[in-house]
Amino acid sequence: MTTLTDAPKVTFRLSMLIYDTRYRSMTIQVVALMGFMLLAAWLINNTLTNLATLGKPIDFGFFTDPAGYDINQRLLDYNSRDTHLRASLLGLLNTLVVAVLGCITATIIGVLVGVLRLSNNWLIARIMTVYVEMFRNVPVLLWIVLAMAIMIESLPAPKAFRGDNATASMDLFDSVAVTNRGVYLPEALFSRGLGNVHVFGDSSLRFDVSRDLMAILIVLGASIFAIRWNNRRAHEIQDATGERPTTWHFTFGLLVVPTGVLLALLGFHFGYPELGGYNFKGGTHLRNSLIALWLALSLYTAAFIAEIVRGGILAISQGQSEAAGALGLRQNRIMGLVVLPQALRVIIPPLISNYLNLTKNSSLAIAVGYMDITGTLGGITMNQTGRELECILLLMLVYLTISLSISGVMNWYNNKVKLVER
């Protein structure tokens, strides 16, 4: 007679961490992690010790010292007596402005060029090909410097707008002046404005928030909410009856009437630039450095985005276009309603990398004198204070935060538009 017994239980032994395949991989990972942490701790300790020996321990107190330099293009009030912290804040805002404007412009141009590269018109397709190959095969720094040189050398000086013998004139009903010192645009003014809200008092992080702008944004937000509610109602009616009610007049009225009434109550008007002395005064001044950097980064990045868009469109089966054409849709409607929405799932992942590259390439702004975060914190502030390690670490942290934020937003959108598997 055969007796079945349970297998003896194996007690855990330290040797099993090496010889047992169930634990070996975990052991290797733990040892590697501990080795990395020990190496990092040694590097940090060695750096701190050497800095202390040199009499330069880690200290961020220099942020409270007066900066002593000017920032030409800025969104907030600033003067040379403000602290290095405020100068760095202005530089960060300038970086964000270029990044946002560049990403928007590059996307618009890139999508148009990518679609036109697939045009049946031989001339248009070849012109777009020349644009793509020309821009993406030349370093972006050269395009930035070239754009700056063209603006300085080819545009008229402010004095050319003066007197009866003026050789230059303002555009758009004498409201815009394009000069070799920048572009002067009308600025929004309110004769019955609500004033500003002061945030952070008199600290280095102080800034003013316009109550007029807040009121406009609230009204626009409420209008958009009402428009979306009306569109949902129209969808419900269409699903129930098969007929969709007209909504464009309701949408137009909600966007225009409430905002128009608010602007009239606030006394909205434009303040136009005027020539005074040897330069224009009033209005909004966009300096050549900002425009040159913006255009160069946008055109350069758009060349890469165009190829991404073209590849995404080609990834969509030709049968999709043929089916839409059989339903009577025109070619432009097929591209906008059928092809591009599906191509987005292929386009967005590599598009994220190009947004990140554009943001990091904005650090070349110092080549044309645009004071971004690299020019302030990583440039003048670092040279004046001698705090190289602190400035570089903070600069790396800033770009890392911006890049991770862009990646997070784009990944969220990518998950939103991807195909839902059933």
Number of domains the chain is built from: 2
Residue 125 lies in a domain: yes
| 295 in the same domain as 258 | no
Instruction: For tokens 């409607």, name the residue.
Output: 333
The 10s digit of each residue's pLDDT in 230-256 is 989 988 888 888 787 888 888 899 889
Q: Report which listed range, 21-25, 69-73, 145-149, is most confident.
A: 145-149
Residue 402 lies in a domain: yes
| 388 in the same domain as 303 | yes
Residue 230 lies in a domain: yes
Neighbours of 15 (CB within 10 A): 9
Q: Report which listed range, 119-133, 238-252, 307-321, is most confident.
A: 119-133
User: Where in the sequence is the domain holding 390, given as residue range(s)?
Assistant: 85-168+286-422
Please indicate whether residue 16 or residue 50 has the higher confidence score (pLDDT).
Answer: 50
| 130 in the same domain as 255 | no
Please indicate whether residue 12 or residue 421 has the higher confidence score (pLDDT).
Answer: 12
Q: Region 395-399: what's the mean pLDDT?
A: 94
Q: Region 361-387: what's the mean pLDDT?
A: 92
Mean pLDDT of the chain: 88
Q: Which of 217, 240, 271 is the last residue of a domain?
A: 271
| 316 in the same domain as 221 | no
Q: In this model, does residue 14 exceed pLDDT 70?
A: yes
Q: Region 35-52: what's the mean pLDDT?
A: 90
Handedness of CA 67, 68, 73, 74 (dihedral sign): positive
| 116 in the same domain as 202 | no
Query: pTM for this structure?
Result: 0.86
pLDDT band for 419, please (50, 70, 90 cuts): low
| 211 in the same domain as 259 | yes
| 303 in the same domain as 411 | yes
Residue 176 lies in a domain: no
Q: Region 87-101: what's the mean pLDDT?
A: 94
Per DSSP, helices labelled H in 117-210 are: 122-136, 140-154
CATH of the domain at 373: 1.10.3720.10
Q: Which of 246, 271, 296 is the last residue of a domain?
A: 271
CA distance 28 to 22: 12
Report helix angle 122-136 to 84-116, nearest 10. Answer: 150
